[in-house]
Amino acid sequence: MTSTWSSLSPTTISTSETMARTNGKKGKKGFLNPKLPSSRLQVAGEPSDSTVAVTLPSESPGSSLEQLVVPIEPVEIGDPGRAARLHVPKFDTRFPGVHDTVFDGYRIYPDHERNSPTLDVRAASVRGISHRHEGVVRQDSYCMGQSSQGRYLVVAVADGVSNASLSHLAAEQTVCSIVAGLAERIDAEHPDQIDWCAEFRTVVTQSWLGPLRDHLTSVVGDPTRRLLLERNPELPEDFDVVQLSDSELGAVMATTVIVAIIETADEDGAGHRVWLARVGDTSGWLLRRFDASATGQVAEGSAPEPEPAEKDDEVAAVMSIESSIETVIETEPEPVPQGRWSSLGSVKNDGEQIAESGTAALPSFHDRSVFTDLVRLDSGHALVLMTDGIGDPLGGGSGMVGDHIAELWSDPPAPLAFASHCDFARKSFDDDRTAVAIWPIRGPRG
Amino acid sequence: MAESLDDSQKLLPFYLLCDVSASMFGVLDDVNQILPALTVALERDPIICDKIRFGVIDFSDDARLVLPLCELLDQETLPALSCRGGTNYGAAFDFLRTQLEQDVNTLKADGYLVHRPAVFFLSDGSPTDAESSWRSAFANLTQYDKQTDQGFAFYPNFIPFGLNGCDPRLLQQLIHPTQPKERSMKMFLQAENQGAAEAVTTMAKLLVNSVVKSGAGLAGAGGIVLPEKGDDLDVVIVEPDDDLYL
């Protein structure tokens, strides 16, 4: 009896709290506190009724059962804008096979025995509301794979350039091809030895041309074929895709890409080594996680008077819930340590007088626009790869968007919740959104 | 939680810089339909209205701010243009530069991520001020060297719309920028056999489409989207390097 309610008391959140936290902000919904285990996020009827809460059997954090229970609330950060409310999602009838949203959640083991997992991964790619409203496919893509001996996790994220009509193919082919290629050979070939420029050029010639050829010979491919013929009058009517120059190819297929190779075992205890390479404005970040000792205990330190565990009657439980709600409200904003997000490489538009939306991209990129980095990922951080659909609203990471996502992703959320986080509403940001986040598993609890 | 500069929203500012000299008398009623038409288009397009701002400046002997840069859908009333005096290009360009500088700086200070402003310049005549005067005002408005940060960093994309009576060769020189090719602007001229009112209506349509498509493009490669030659639109499209023998 005691255990059920007392375990609820510091952490239960209800609609009334959601309302209370955003009280006075017209038309804005709050967000559920991500530090609370999701199985306890039970909605409790009308705003006035904060006393009815249902809980599930207590589970240790991160258990599989817990991750199935996902209360999905639309996430709004600041002013969601008119578009979030009024847009109408539509099919792109040209490409029926491309999903609006895809997401994954995995636990990574460094070896075949699968005794001790070392990493948690969440990934989601969500069509932007602009593409939804216009009936255009999602042009972002991600892919991940583990090397055959398990030593490395390979992750790629790509953002198809929107003014090239087949960029969703470019993005998808690029991430799948790079991940498959690297996962197959990276155990034998050290990541230091990868020639990234060659890697990116190879992926274009080896993986783009086949699907492009198929497309151009299909009925829906005719406008693209016409466009290519218009751009180059010297091309014969029955040209083959191998005859296209990089710039002609780039007019119909172009994509940014970021690749990370992550050691699955933190062998020396100094953090998992991560090799990164990217072309264009798809970015990599280290997200400093909330301190483990503070996680899930937001309210306790500053609670007016913690309820004694002996008070196990219902009234006490109700009071306890209410006081915890109060406390959460009082403690917001919590002291957020500075610099939660560290960009790996430069931040887009940083220091620019006027914002630009152009970017370097495959296939026509200069060798010097390939950015590479080697970093360590320790358990105090998560590695996050993202397209500019999230990167642009995040900016340098020090604002409200950065704080909000940092809080949501301090620990791995349920995969479906992760996808909904990527789909947050914020005025003027309507691009496709993709993120892959990797958390080292901390402590013996796993 | 306060919004910091890292919470910048994207914004694409558009301006209509409109000649209201005496010769425009017959078409201003049609020009005055542009804002309502744009408002209707924005109401229908929730994606775009969150990202664009629109302002109107008129000019004749002097230039005036008719509609400060705003969210059109938030406006309860829309202003109307009326005629007065001559055609002073220099005054128009000087005023625009001051206004752009002020607006972009204000928006940036308010935490917006401001994309390069676009200006639709509508005129039916030749300038009545001295050539040296409007040319230097235009240079002042449009020239910028990114390496040395000399000139006007917020220079606009400048898109001339010429009605009968304008000097097409002169207007062509106002297209800005002219390179690189993928980012160059164009100008638009009243089609032959077309009345001025009809031409303004076509240009209003063109302007609305451009605003909507450019706003949509903010999600991707961006830039100002203008109609291409061959598009079904009753207007003469002129590129910066086209030969004009009108």
Going from N- to C-terminal start, the domains of chain B cover: 7-238
Q: What is the CATH number of domain B7-238?
A: 3.40.50.410
Which residue did the predictor score with more confidence, A311 or A380? Answer: A380
- A429 phi/psi in degrees, rounded to 5: -110, 105
According to the model, what pLDDT value does residue A243 have?
A: 93
B75 pLDDT higher than 70: yes
HEC string of A77-125 equals CCCCHHHHHHCCCCCCCCCCCCCCEEEEEEEECCCCCCCCCCEEEEEEE
The pLDDT value recorded for residue A232 is: 87
Select the residue of A394, A396, A428 nearest B9 (Cβ to Cβ): A428
A167 Cα to chain B: minimum distance (Å)? 11
What's the whole-number mean pLDDT along residues B217-232? 65
Portion of chain A with pLDDT greater than 70, in percent? 72
What is the ipTM, given to two decimal places? Answer: 0.74
Most confident residue range from A47-51, A219-223, A420-424 = A420-424
Using a CB-CB cut-off of 8 Å, the residues of chain A touching B104 are 354
- In the predicted structure, residue A19 carries a pLDDT above the cut 70: no
Homologous superfamily of domain range A78-290+339-440: PPM-type phosphatase domain (3.60.40.10)
Whether residue A44 has pLDDT greater than 80: no
pLDDT of residue B48: 81
Mutate to test the interface with B, among A130, A134, A137, A392 (most CBs of B within 10 A): A130
Confidence of residue B230 (pLDDT cuts 50, 70, 90): low
Give A445→chain B minimum CA distance, Å.
Answer: 34
Closest by CA position to A181, among listed A209, A145, A210: A145
Question: Is the CB of residue A122 less than 8 Å away from at least one CB of chain B?
Answer: no
Q: What separation, in Å, do the N-terminal and C-terminal C-alpha atoms of chain A show?
A: 28
Contact B50 A392 (CB under 8 A): no
A101 bridge partner residues: A126
Q: Is the pLDDT of residue A385 over 90?
A: yes
Residues 68-107 of A with CB under 8 A from B: 78-79, 81-83, 85-87
- pLDDT value at position A49? 33
> How many contacts, defined by CB atoms under 8 Å, are there between A and B?
112
Interface test with B, best of A31, A332, A352, A357 (most B CBs within 10 A): A357
Residue A99 pLDDT = 96
Residue B52's pLDDT band, with cuts at 50, 70 and 90, is confident
pLDDT (average), residues A65-92: 81
In terms of average pLDDT, the best of A202-211, A230-239, B113-122 is A202-211
Write out the two tokens for A222. Answer: 């005719």
Among candidate residues A97, A115, A72, the one with its CA nearest the CA of residue A441: A115
Output B63 or A59, whichever has higher pLDDT.
B63
Q: Which of residues 162-201 of A touch B (CB under 8 A)?
A: 162-163
Cross-chain Cβ contact A355/B115 below 8 Å = yes
For position B88, what pLDDT does the model report?
95
Contact state of A354 with B5 under an 8 Å Cβ cutoff: no
| Mean pLDDT to the nearest integer, B149-175 | 92
How close is the nearest chain B Cα to the Cα of A272, in Å? 29
Whether the CB-CB separation of B43 and B51 falls below 8 Å is answered with no
What number is the average pLDDT over the span B222-229? 72
Is the pLDDT at A331 greater than 90? The verdict is no
B189 pLDDT more than 70: yes
For residue A191, the distance in angstroms to the closest alpha carbon of chain B comes to: 32
- A349: distance to nearest CA of chain B, Å? 9
With 70 as the cut, is the pLDDT of residue B120 above it? Answer: yes
Which of A25, A126, A247, A430 to probe by mutation at the B interface, max B CB count within 10 Å? A430
Asked whether the predicted pLDDT for residue B233 surpasses 80, the reply is no
**CA-derived radius of gyration, chain A:** 24
Kindly list the residues from chain B whose CB atom is less than 8 angstroms away from the CB atom of residue A89: none
State yes or no: pLDDT of A347 exceeds 60: yes
Res. A52: pLDDT tops 70: no
Strands B118-123 and B157-162: parallel
Domain locations in chain A as residue ranges: 1-73+299-333, 78-290+339-440
CB-based contact A287:A437 (threshold 8 Å): yes
Give the mean model confidence (pLDDT) for residues A366-372. 91
Q: Which of A139, A333, A428 sits opposite B50 (nearest CB)?
A: A428
Strand partners, A107: A120
**Nearest C-alpha of chain B: how many angstroms from A164?**
9
pLDDT score at B64: 96
Average pLDDT of chain B is 86
Residue A326 pLDDT: 32
Partner-chain residue, chosen from B3, B4, B216, that has the shortest CB–CB distance to A134: B216
pLDDT in tens, A292-320: 544 433 333 333 333 333 333 433 333 33
Range with lowest mean pLDDT among A274-278, B51-55, B222-226:
B222-226
Whole-angstrom distance, CA of residue A408 vs CA of residue A393 = 15
What pLDDT band is residue A279 in, cutting at 50, 70 and 90?
very high
Shortest Cα–Cα distance, A358 to chain B (Å): 5
Cα–Cα distance measured from residue A302 to residue A272, given in angstroms and rounded to the nearest whole number: 35
Contact list, B153 vs chain A (CB under 8 Å): 353-354
Does B47 contact A83 at a Cβ distance shorter than 8 Å? yes
Name which residue leads in pLDDT, B200 or A182: A182
Determine how β-strand A433-440 pairs with β-strand B9-19.
unpaired
Average pLDDT, integer, range A129-156: 95
Q: Give the strand pairing for A119-126 and A140-146.
A: unpaired
Contact call for B50 and A394, based on CB within 8 A: no
Which residues contact residue A113 at a Cβ distance below 8 angstroms, ignoring those fewer than 6 apart?
A: none
* Whether B4 and A78 lie within 8 Å, measured CB to CB: no
Binned at pLDDT 50, 70 and 90, residue B217 comes out as low
**Per-residue H/E/C for A308-350:** CCCCCCHHHHHHHHHHHHHHHHHCCCCCCCCCCEEEECCCCCC
A202 three-state secondary structure: helix
Average pLDDT of span B198-213: 77
Give me the DSSP letters along A15-54. Answer: HHHHHHHTTT-TT------TTS-GGG----SSTT--S---
The identity of residue B124, as a single letter, is D
A52-66, A401-415, B197-211 — which is least confidently predicted?
A52-66
C-alpha distances (whole Å) from A363 to each of A70, A155, A202, A211, A389 are 40, 20, 10, 15, 21
Is A105:A121 a contact under the CB 8 Å cutoff? yes
